[in-house]
Chain A
Amino acid sequence: MALSREQIAQRVAREIQDGFYVNLGIGIPTLVSNYVPEDMEVSLHSENGLLGMGPFPAADEIDADLINAGKQTVTLNKGASIFSSAESFAMIRGGHVDLTVLGAFELDVLGNIASYMIPGKLIKGMGGAMDLVAGADNIIVTMMHADRHGNSKLLNKCTLPLTGVGCIKKVVTDLAYMKISEGKFYLIERAPGTSVDEIISKTEGELVVSGNIPEMAL
């Protein structure tokens, strides 16, 4: 069985450590905050200038001046801090954020990522994604392994405009957890009930499968 969006987030959350400062992108990455283990203290970074982001507000707590990078109204946790966009990206570029989680359209064996533009179809812009992939060391990409028609999104070479080159080392898809190094994908874990053969058939880029591949613990 392929993982649900929530299960992908759940698997990513297992990479979080106590005391981490974490930046979560829009979409599946945002869901990761729901699965931070209760015995851990983690601070969420939002690139519009906020550390210590809390949950969405109750209806009577809404504040138009307090939003996240997805422009959603949020709250502050105790110990939060607010700063300018320049300061926020100094944290990102300077490598101060411990874990960055973001989505992608395509990923390739060289660790290149395409996530911001589909020429002729989608003109939205990269927002902070290029800064995040260039500045962060510990990045996890979350994405679907293949599109609706079964075409792989884990490629030999990205076809869409790139967000960053050679910067991605880990990816959690609906089928697998894989690492990327030396021009290859390495299968580390598979989604419960998903066969190695299915993962191989849906991975276009060179995939190394060595030994018994364990099922993910969720």
Chain B
Amino acid sequence: MSGLNKLVSNYDEALQGLEDGMTIIAGGFGLCGIPENLIAQIQKMGTKDLTIVSNNAGVDEFGLGLLLQSQQVKKMIASYVGENKLFEKQLLDGILEVELTPQGTLAEKMRSGGAGIPAFYTATGYGTDVATGKESRKFGDKDYILEEAIKGDFALVKAWKADLHGNAIYRMTAQNFNPMAATAGKITVMEAEYIVEPGELDPAQIHTPGIYVNRLIQGDSEKRIEQRTIRQDSEAS
């Protein structure tokens, strides 16, 4: 690695410095746009007692579900964990702690974490269990609660095309949480399907500027589909 070139040579190097008890922010929505190769590498490393911040917890045998299987996760901060039976079991067994966080609040916590804003007010969750222990304040005639930003020791994101500087473009709805996650890591590691030379991407089309990215690695994605749905009229043809 030299200058602005963020490319690392292997997955060991990509996650070098990841230790037990650290907080990891991961991009992705369901199984769409998850850094699947980096997650698999964490399972291989066996790092324990992790706090994972991600919208979902994967499914039983894929994505973040892998880290639940190997009991590497101490706490999960997520908005929706419904597709993962193992998650539910570990929660009921007391092995796993969960902080359910509204989806928009989660996105904004990551964005704020990366943008140097320590906390923000939102109406989301006011008067619900989410508001427990949080400051509230009225602006105009509406009530808001104070939500704190999140930062990660590591942020793991998945891009479609990235140049060697880490300037990246996401594909379709695989964008989701990735742009905010990328900003919120002390060390941000990006896996990209395609890595190109600087200058090959249109600067005006970049979703994540390379300034946020510390390490870059190529990753071939399996891209598993959670709910394969097709039009009924197309089944006959």
Contacting residues, chain A, for B188 (C-beta < 8 A):
none
Q: Are B230 and A127 touching (Cβ within 8 A)?
A: no
How many chain A residues have a CB neighbour from B under 8 Å?
Answer: 48
Beyond A49-B176, A93-B124, is A125–B83 a contact (Cβ under 8 Å)? no
- Which residues on the B side are within 8 Å of A48 (C-beta)? 29-30, 32, 173, 176
For the complex formed, measure the closest distance between the CB of A82 and the CB atoms of chain B, giving whole angstroms: 6
A64 in contact with B223 given A55-B231, A59-B235, A130-B125 (CB within 8 Å): yes
CB-defined contacts of B30 to chain A, threshold 8 Å: 48, 67, 71
Q: For the complex, what is the distance from the CA of A77 to the CA of B115, rounded to whole Å?
A: 33
User: By the criterion CB–CB under 8 Å, are B124 and A58 in contact?
Assistant: no
**One of B11-19, B38-46, B127-135 at the interface:** B127-135
Residues of B within 8 A of A (CB-CB), count: 58
The docked-state distance in angstroms from the alpha carbon of A197 to that of B102 is 39
- Residue B47 lies at the interface, judged by CB distance under 8 Å to chain A: no
Residues B171-190 near A (CB distance < 8 A): 171-180
Q: Residues of A contacting B237 with CB < 8 Å? A: 58
Query: In the assembled complex, which residues on chain A have CB atoms less than 8 Å from the CB atom of B91?
Result: 123
Interchain CB contact under 8 A, A127 and B178: no
Q: CA A125 – CA B228 in complex, angstroms?
A: 22
A25 to B130, CA, bound (A): 21
B231→A128 contact, CB < 8 A: no
CB-based contact B229/A56 at 8 Å: yes
Task: Among B104, B172, B175, find the residue whose CB has the most chain A CB atoms closer than 10 A.
Answer: B104
Q: Given A64-B224, A165-B126, answer yes or no on A127-B103 (Cβ-Cβ < 8 Å).
A: yes
- Given contacts A48-B173, A164-B128, whether A58 and B104 have CB atoms under 8 Å apart is no
Among the 9-residue stretches B64-72, B74-82, B197-205, the one with 4 or more Cβ atoms under 8 Å from chain A is: B74-82
Q: Are the CB atoms of B107 and A85 closer together than 8 Å?
A: yes
Question: In the bound complex, do residue B234 and residue A59 qualify as a contact, i.e. CB atoms below 8 Å apart?
Answer: yes
Besides A93-B124, A134-B124, 12 more A-B contacts (Cβ < 8 Å) are A56-B230, A65-B173, A67-B30, A82-B173, A84-B177, A86-B111, A123-B98, A125-B100, A130-B128, A131-B104, A162-B127, A162-B129
A residues with CB within 8 A of B? 46-50, 55-59, 62-67, 70-74, 82-86, 88-89, 92-93, 112, 123-131, 134-135, 161-166
Residues of B within 8 A of A (CB): 29-33, 55, 78-83, 88, 91, 98, 100, 102-108, 110-111, 122-130, 160, 171-180, 207, 223-231, 234-235, 237
